[in-house]
C-alpha cells in the first residue's frame, strides 16, 4: 500500500473544471495532481481531496492525501510536486500520516471565504478571485444578517436544486463579514460541512440583503421555509476560496 | 481637434508586449486603448501615455490623454471604454482637460512599486504581480541600502546597457521598503523620471544586498562608478507596477 502522505495545496481555479476528475476533460485539479504524482511514483497514484471544489472555485488550503510506493522524505514532496504541476497549482506542505488517515472522512470542518469587490470598477489584480458588486452594499446590515445563519440549521433552502444529499442539516460554527480598505468584503464561513452551492447561495442572499432587496425578518423565513426558491441567487464561483480544512 | 480627456487606467501587463504600439503585435496597452476609443469616437484616436511601461509591467494608475471629436461627459468615459476593453485593462476615472494638457510632458513625477514575495513557495493569487525570492531576505539591510539611492544622482550604473537618453541624472524623491505579513516586500520608488530598466536594476541590486551578496559600502561605489556592469541583475518585469503619475 505504501506510505500515506497528507498535503496542503493552493490553486487558482479559474482555468479548471473543478477539483474532481471528469470523463470529458483533463483540466481538473485532482487530475493534475494525479498526473504529477504518477510521474514521481512511476506507478498510478490516486489522490483523495478533503472537498470537491466546483469549477472556478479556488483554494488557499485544500487538503489531500495519497499513497506512494517510493519512500520520499515529506519535506521533498512540495518541491518535487511543484516542478511537475502547472503554475496555478502549488503544494505548500506535506507530511507522512498513518495509513488510516483519509482527508475527506477525517475532516472536522472547513473554512471558506467569499470575496466581494464592492466598487464601481473591477480590479485587474484580483478580478479572478472576487465577485465585483457595483452598487454600494450595506455591510452592517449584512453583518447582522450573517448571524441568522450561524448554528445548527436545516439549510435545504440553501442547497442547489436537484442535488440529493440525505440530511440537509449542517452546523455553521461562524459566519463573519469583514470590510477591508480596498473595497473588498469578505464573508468567512466555518462549518462542519456544506451542501452543494450552499456558501454561494448564502453569499448571494447576503448580497441581496446588502442591496436592501431583502429584510432581516424575511431571511429567517427563508431559512425556515427549506425551499430553494425563497433564497437568493447563487453568487459566482470565482469569488469563493477554500481557506482551510480542520482535523483533530 | 476636439475635447482633450485625461484618464487613469489600471492594467495587468502579463499578456502584453508593454504600453507602446509596435509593428509586429497588436497586444499592447496603447493599441487596445486606441482600438476601443476609435470605436467610441468613430474616427481614429491617438492615445498619449505618461510612461511607456515594458512588457509584463503592470499599472494601477497609469495616466493617459486623448482627443475625441464626439462630446461625451467625462463620467461616461470609463463605462464606455471598459465595455470595449479586455478584462485586464480597466479605466478608473476620466476628466476633461484643457487642450494643452499632455500626460507625458506635464508629468511631475511617478510612483512605482516593485513587489517581492519572499517565500519558499509562490502564491497562485499574486504570482503574476510579484517576483518570488525563495531565500530569506534581510529587509532591514535592504531598507538601509535603499536610502543610498535617494536624492539627485547620476544613475548611469542603473540604466540598461545600450539605451541612449542624454543625461542619466535623475532625482529619486523617496525609496522605501515595506514588509507585509504575507511575505511580500514592497519597494516603493517616487522620482521625477526613470532611466530604462532603472527601477528593475535598483530592485535587483537591493535583492542581492538582502541576500548578503553585496555590502552597503559597495553600493555607494556602484552608484558612483556609473557603470552598468557593477550594479545588480535586472529584476523580472512581472514584479513592477506603475502606481501613480503626479501632476501640478
**C-alpha span between A12 and A95 (Å, rounded):** 23
Q: How confident is the model at residue B1 (pLDDT cuts 50, 70, 90)?
A: confident
Instruction: List the single residue in B with minimal CA-CA distance to A124.
Output: B88
Least Cα separation, residue A206 to chain B (angstroms): 25
Say yes or no: B112 contacts chain A, CB-CB below 8 A.
no
Q: What's the pLDDT score for residue B47?
A: 98
Residues of A comprising the binding site for substrate?
112
Q: What is the pLDDT of residues A202-237, one digit of tens each?
A: 999 999 999 999 999 999 999 999 999 999 999 999
What structural domains and CATH numbers belong to chain A? Answer: 3-97 (3.30.70.580), 109-246 (3.30.70.660)
Over residues B202-212, mean pLDDT: 98
> Is the pLDDT at B54 greater than 90, yes or no?
yes
Q: How far is A52 from chain B (nearest CA, A)?
A: 19
What is this model's ipTM? 0.89
Are B206 and B186 a contacting pair, CB within 8 Å? no
Predicted pLDDT of residue B70:
87
Tell me the catalytic residues of B.
Answer: 54
Q: Which of B76, B9, B22 is nearest to B49 (CA)?
A: B9
The yes-or-no verdict on residue A21 having pLDDT over 80 is yes
Binding site members of B for substrate: 112
Considering only the beta carbons, identify the residue of B87, B92, B123 that sits closest to A10. Answer: B123
Q: What are phi and psi of B146, to 5 degrees?
A: -55, -35
**pLDDT tens digits for A159-200?**
987 777 689 999 999 999 999 888 999 999 999 999 999 999
Instruction: From chain A, pick out residues whose CB is under 8 angstroms from the CB of B127.
Output: 87-88
All cell numbers assigned to A204: 448571494
Between CA A126 and CA B4 the distance in angstroms is 31
Flag if B10 and A127 touch (Cβ within 8 Å).
Answer: no
Beta-carbon separation of A90 and B129 below 8 A: no
Residues 6+ apart with CB under 8 A from B11: A124, B29, B58, B59, B62, B88, B89, B90
Task: Region of A106 please: left (phi>0), alpha (psi -120 to 50) or beta.
Answer: alpha
- What is the pLDDT averaged over residues B200-223? 96
The three-state DSSP-derived secondary structure of A102-150 is CCCCCCCEEEEEEEEEECCCCCCCCCCCCEEECCCCCHHHHHHHHHHCC
Q: What's the whole-number average pLDDT of chain B?
A: 95
* Cα→Cα distances A215→A197, A233, B142, B214, Å: 22, 15, 53, 62
Which residues sit opposite A177 in a β-bridge? A187
Residue of A nearest to B125 (CA): A12
Nearest CA in chain A to B120: A92
| Residue A17 reports pLDDT greater than 90 | yes
Residue A72: the pLDDT is 93
pLDDT of residue B76: 96
| Residues of A involved in catalysis | 54
* Spatial CB neighbours of A42, under 8 Å, sequence gap ≥ 6: A69, A70
Nearest CB to A12; choose among B120, B125, B129: B125
Q: Which residues of B touch A60 (CB under 8 A)?
A: 125
Q: How far is CA A78 from CA A65, A86, A92, in A?
A: 13, 13, 6
On chain A, the residues whose CB falls within 8 A of the CB of B126 are 125
The predicted structure's pLDDT at residue A162: 73
What per-residue confidence (pLDDT) applies to B177? 97
Q: Is residue A181 within 8 angstroms of chain B, CB to CB?
A: no
Contacts with B132 from chain A: Cβ below 8 Å: none
| C-alpha distance across the termini of chain A, in Å | 24
Distance from C-alpha of B210 to C-alpha of A135, rounded to nearest angstrom? 44
A33-92 per-position pLDDT tens digit: 999 999 999 999 999 999 999 999 999 999 999 999 988 999 999 999 999 999 999 999
Nearest to A125 among B82, B91, B129 (CB): B129
Q: What is the rounded CA–CA span in Å between residue B153 and residue B175?
A: 13
Q: Residue B11's closest chain A neighbor by CA?
A: A124
Q: Decide if pLDDT at B18 tops 80.
A: yes
Give the minimum alpha-carbon distance from B78 to chain A in angstroms, rounded to a whole number.
9
Q: Where do we find the cell 557593477?
A: B230
Neighbour count for residue B93 (Cβ, 10 Å): 17
Which pLDDT score, from 0 to 100, does residue A181 have?
Answer: 80
Quote the minimal CA–CA distance from B90 to chain A in Å.
Answer: 7
Q: What is the pLDDT of residue B15?
A: 96
The A residues from 61 to 100 touching B (CB cutoff 8 Å) are 78, 82, 87-92
Q: How close does chain A come to B131, measured CA to CA in Å?
A: 14
- The cell numbers describing A141, all together, are 446590515
A88 chain-B contacts, CB cut-off 8 A: 124, 127
Query: Do the Cβ atoms of B60 and B242 come closer than 8 Å?
Result: yes
B168-198 pLDDT tens trace: 999 999 999 999 888 999 999 999 999 999 9
Residues of A in contact with B78 (CB under 8 A): 120-121
Amino acid at each position: 500500500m505504501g506510505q500515506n502522505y497528507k498535503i496542503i495545496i493552493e490553486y487558482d481555479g479559474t482555468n479548471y473544471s473543478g477539483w474532481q476528475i471528469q470523463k470529458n476533460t483533463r483540466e481538473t485539479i485532482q487530475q493534475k495532481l494525479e498526473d504529477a504524482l504518477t510521474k514521481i511514483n512511476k506507478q498510478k497514484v490516486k489522490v483523495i481531496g478533503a472537498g470537491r471544489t466546483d469549477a472556478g472555485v479556488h483554494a488557499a488550503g485544500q487538503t489531500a492525501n495519497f499513497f506512494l510506493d517510493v519512500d520520499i522524505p515529506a519535506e521533498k514532496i512540495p518541491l518535487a510536486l511543484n516542478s511537475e504541476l502547472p503554475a496555478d497549482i502549488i503544494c505548500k506542505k506535506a507530511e507522512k500520516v498513518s495509513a488510516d488517515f483519509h482527508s475527506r472522512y477525517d475532516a472536522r470542518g472547513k473554512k471558506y471565504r467569499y470575496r466581494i469587490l464592492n466598487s464601481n470598477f473591477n480590479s485587474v489584480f484580483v478580478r479572478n478571485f472576487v465577485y465585483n458588486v457595483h452598487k454600494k452594499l450595506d455591510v452592517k446590515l449584512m453583518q447582522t444578517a450573517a448571524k441568522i445563519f450561524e448554528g445548527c440549521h436545516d439549510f435545504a433552502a440553501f442547497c442547489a436544486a436537484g442535488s440529493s444529499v440525505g440530511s440537509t442539516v449542517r452546523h455553521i460554527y461562524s459566519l463573519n463579514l469583514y470590510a477591508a480598505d480596498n473595497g473588498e468584503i469578505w464573508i468567512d464561513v466555518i462549518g462542519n460541512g456544506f451542501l452543494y452551492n450552499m456558501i454561494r447561495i448564502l453569499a448571494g442572499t447576503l448580497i441581496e440583503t446588502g442591496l436592501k432587496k431583502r429584510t432581516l425578518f424575511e431571511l429567517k423565513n427563508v431559512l425556515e421555509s427549506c425551499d430553494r426558491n425563497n433564497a437568493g441567487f447563487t453568487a459566482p464561483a470565482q469569488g469563493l476560496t477554500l481557506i482551510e480544512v480542520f482535523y483533530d
